[in-house]
Amino acid sequence: MTDNACGSCTACCRVYSISEIGKPAGQWCEHCAVGKGCKIYEKRPWKCVEFECLWLHSQHGGFGNPMPDEMRPDRCKVVFSPLDDTFIALCMPGSPDAWRKGAGRKVVDWLVGNGYRVLAGLPGAPTKTFIDRFCEREVHVGEPDETGKIRLTPTGGRYANAMTDDIVERVREMGLQQVWVDSRGCPHCGAKDGPAWIGDSVWHYCAKHRVKWLAGWDLTHVVDKVEQERRYKELGLGGFEHIRRDEVEALAVQVEKAAADNRLADLMRQLEMKDH
Ligand code: SF4
Ligand code: SF4
Ligand SMILES: [Zn+2]
């Protein structure tokens, strides 16, 4: 924190909780000269000494090239810090959506594109958003139980990745519980016709190259195969090649696995130390 390379950034002195000095998450530390640095630099808590956000890490040569100025936490309003293969993205209070747009979003997309997961939201907020290559879902962060474990519960509703706005709207209207969405275009030309809704699933297709792919579905409903075939024909998609089946099936397995294992709970237990 407030390393020379941080310049006038002091964002982490706001977002994190520091139990050693009774500093709550999301509030400026009483020792912080905002935009200047730490007033007790020589005696600052150990957590402050060892902390290095993603941006600072990049200035010190980590992660390839130094990240540009616009991505400095005080500018993009998000402090990214790593936890295994997940990055915690804490937004500055007053900018709860900073990770969704501008430089903050560029960082999220870059991380996700490189295989990391991101958990984003306001410091100490009970609801955060979990983002990986396949999905984006809101999760509720529970209180620790007697063993210190924190339960993460998907809060329902949005559960999709890189969806177009119209689909997001549609998903909301339909009140779907869990939807996986593949928003990529045709592998031949990049076009994306549709979406076509069939039962509880949504499809995109390329009329020119006669391919279709499952863009998303509601996991809480069983797909009616007969109805699906009937609708394909009705929509003229019957003879189209169904692509990306393998990926979708692998994804379904992963969804179930993610629900079953306690990875996120472990993550949140660690997060708790940093963020509450
Ligand atoms: S958020 Fe990063 S760049 Fe800003 S003061 Fe903290 S460590 Fe430095
Ligand atoms: S003690 Fe200093 S470095 Fe630590 S949060 Fe407070 S102002 Fe920042
Ligand atoms: Zn095409």
Q: Which of 51, 56, 91 to mutate to test the pocket of ligand 1 (most atoms within 8 A of CB)?
A: 56
Q: Nearest residue CA, atom 4 of ligand 1?
A: 9
Q: How confident is the model at residue 182 (pLDDT cuts 50, 70, 90)?
A: low
- Label residue 162 exposed, middle or buried (CB < 10 Å: 0-12, 13-18, 19+): middle
Residue 152 Cβ inside 6 Å of ligand 2? The answer reads: no
Q: Which of 10, 13, 16, 90 to mutate to test the pocket of ligand 2 (most atoms within 8 A of CB)?
A: 13
Could you list the residue range(s) of the whole structural domain that residue 22 is in?
A: 4-125
Identify residues whose C-beta is under 5 A from ligand 3, the ion: 186, 188-189, 191, 206, 208-209
Q: Is residue 148 part of a domain?
A: no
- Of residues 242, 204, 206, 207, the one with CA closest to residue 225: 242
- Indicate if 15 and 109 belong to the same structural domain: yes
Reported as half-sphere exposure (CB side, CA atoms, 13 A), residue 251 has a value of 21
Distance between CA atoms of residues 107 and 109, nearest Å? 5
- Indicate if 174 and 88 belong to the same structural domain: no
Q: Is residue 112 part of a domain?
A: yes
Q: Is residue 147 part of a domain?
A: no
Q: Is residue 170 part of a domain?
A: yes
User: In sequence order, what are the residues at sequence separation of 6 or more whose Cβ sits closer than 8 angstroms to the Cβ of residue 43?
Assistant: none
Per the structure, the count of domains in the chain is 2
- Label residue 21 exposed, middle or buried (CB < 10 Å: 0-12, 13-18, 19+): middle
The answer, yes or no, to whether residue 147 has pLDDT greater than 80, is no
- Indicate if 166 and 108 belong to the same structural domain: no
pLDDT digits (tens, 9 = 90+) for 200-235: 567 788 989 999 887 766 544 445 667 667 777 877
State the average pLDDT over residues 25-52: 94
Q: Nearest residue CA, atom 3 of ligand 1?
A: 6
Residue 29 Cβ inside 6 Å of ligand 2? The answer reads: yes
Find out whether the peptide bond into 195 is cis, omega within 30 degrees of 0. yes
The answer, yes or no, to whether residue 263 has pLDDT greater than 60, is no
- Indicate if 206 and 252 belong to the same structural domain: yes
- Indicate if 11 and 113 belong to the same structural domain: yes
* Weakest mean pLDDT among 133-137, 153-157, 201-205, 226-230: 153-157
- Indicate if 114 and 53 belong to the same structural domain: yes
Q: Is residue 89 part of a domain?
A: yes
Residue 31 Cβ inside 6 Å of ligand 2? The answer reads: yes
Residue 40 Cβ inside 6 Å of ligand 2? The answer reads: yes
Q: Is residue 229 part of a domain?
A: yes
Q: Is residue 132 part of a domain?
A: no
- Indicate if 120 and 214 belong to the same structural domain: no
